[in-house]
Chains A and B, each alone.
Chain A
Amino acid sequence: MSRPVQFNITPKPVDYNGHISIVDAPEGHMGEGFFATKLNEVVGLARKNSIWPLPFATSCCGIEFMATAAAHYDLGRFGSERMAFTPRQCDLMMVMGTISKKMGPIVKQVYLQMAEPRWVMAVGACASSGGIFDSYSVLQGIDQVVPVDVYVPGCPPRPEAILDGLIKVQSLVGQESLRRRNSEHYQKLLDSYGIQ
């Protein structure tokens, strides 16, 4: 079962200038000293490249999160440099790991303490749907208590998958309309969870 392998067995010289990606400016009109575009595009651009996550790490997915935040699969290069552990200061709640029924009210409490605009990412099979634990004490998915924006499957998901989830959240954040949080649709969604 031999196949060509390309891992870090023999170190390669680092290529610094090849693959740096720069975010494009939003669509707009450029002129001498001014740039006109829609407000929500600029706000979306600013928000999506500086998402501060709240790592709500409960179990094994938390260790994969630590590996994602470490130097190998760096989470900081996507703008998530500061993992604020307080909900009052962050935008994205990443729930990683199994949430049991005892923990459910606490997830809701932490969600309520976050300020709008806020997003929720369910990392791992247990947070998305209860995972392999179909038992009397495990909450079958955090979407029973909080509205979720992105689900990342896996048990545990690879760090690349968590980064993919973050990029999906970024695209959601970039395209979000500025009035969404006050809209009726959103209020109805929160009401269905019992959140004012």
Chain B
Amino acid sequence: MALTNEQIQNKLTEKFGEQVTAFAEPYGMLTFEAPKELNLKVLQFLYDDATLQFRFLTDLQAVHYPNEKGRELAVVYHLHNLVDNVRIRFKVFTDINTPDIYTATQLYASANWMERETYDFYGVNFVGHPNLKRILNVDEMDYFPMRKEFPLEDQTRVDKDDEMFGRGGSVN
């Protein structure tokens, strides 16, 4: 009997009650969210439960919503049940001033570098991570580049003529 989104939703609400919220199914993939203190418990439950068996972490990354105060950074986990071929998406939201989230590295070894990448880009502090350093950017970088307030281009360049880029700069 194939596992349906309905069954997953029922099992989750049965176990966690009111704490798992915002169930939605954009393009067929069940998406839900939980408070950030429970992220490991939810992941462990999804891993251990005999019918759910979400034992493969497909993806882990973050999104920055600067307009939602108190919930600016979202960490999104994509999980996959290889036996029944079901995917779900699980989000936790955190405040930008205290972005501490428990690490998933004990459960999934693949979360190691994915969390380092998330830290590098957004500044999410994963509590308990064995080696939380910058991975893709230069080690001396002091800001988190993927946040919406930082620009794409390198601001220290002096050789760009803004006029040519349509930004109305100097005319020399």
Contact = CB atoms under 8 A, between A and B. Distances in A.
A102 B138 contact: yes
B157 A135 contact: no
18 contacts: A102-B137, A102-B138, A134-B152, A135-B153, A136-B145, A136-B150, A136-B151, A136-B152, A136-B153, A136-B154, A136-B155, A137-B136, A137-B137, A137-B138, A137-B145, A140-B154, A140-B157, A140-B159
Contacts of A102: 137-138
A101 interface: yes
Interface in A118-176: 134-137, 140
Interface string B132-172: 00001110000001000011111101010000000000000
Interface residues of A, number: 7
9 nearest CB pairs, A to B:
A136-B154, A102-B138, A135-B152, A134-B153, A101-B138, A136-B145, A137-B137, A135-B153, A136-B153
Interface in B35-85: none
Contacts of A136: 145, 150-155
A136 B159 CA distance: 15
Interface residues of B, number: 12
Contacts of A134: 152-153
Nearest to B139: A102
B98 to A, nearest CB: 26
Interface of A: 101-102, 134-137, 140
A134 B154 CA distance: 8
Nearest to B154: A136
Nearest to B151: A136
Contacts of B159: 140
B133 to A, nearest CB: 13
A149 B44 CA distance: 58
A135 B138 contact: no
Contacts of A101: 138
A9 B155 CA distance: 52
Max chain B C-beta neighbours (<10 A), residue from A101, A135, A136, A137: A136
Nearest to A144: B159
Contacts of B138: 101-102, 137
Contacts of A140: 154, 157, 159
A102 B151 CA distance: 19
Contacts of B152: 134-136
A134 B152 CA distance: 8
A140 B154 CA distance: 10
Contacts of B155: 136
A101 B153 CA distance: 13
A102 B136 CA distance: 9
A102 B154 CA distance: 14
A109 B67 CA distance: 45
Contacts of A135: 152-154
Contacts of A137: 136-138, 145
A140 B157 CA distance: 9
A22 B151 CA distance: 55
Contacts of B136: 137
B155 to A, nearest CB: 8
A26 to B, nearest CB: 41
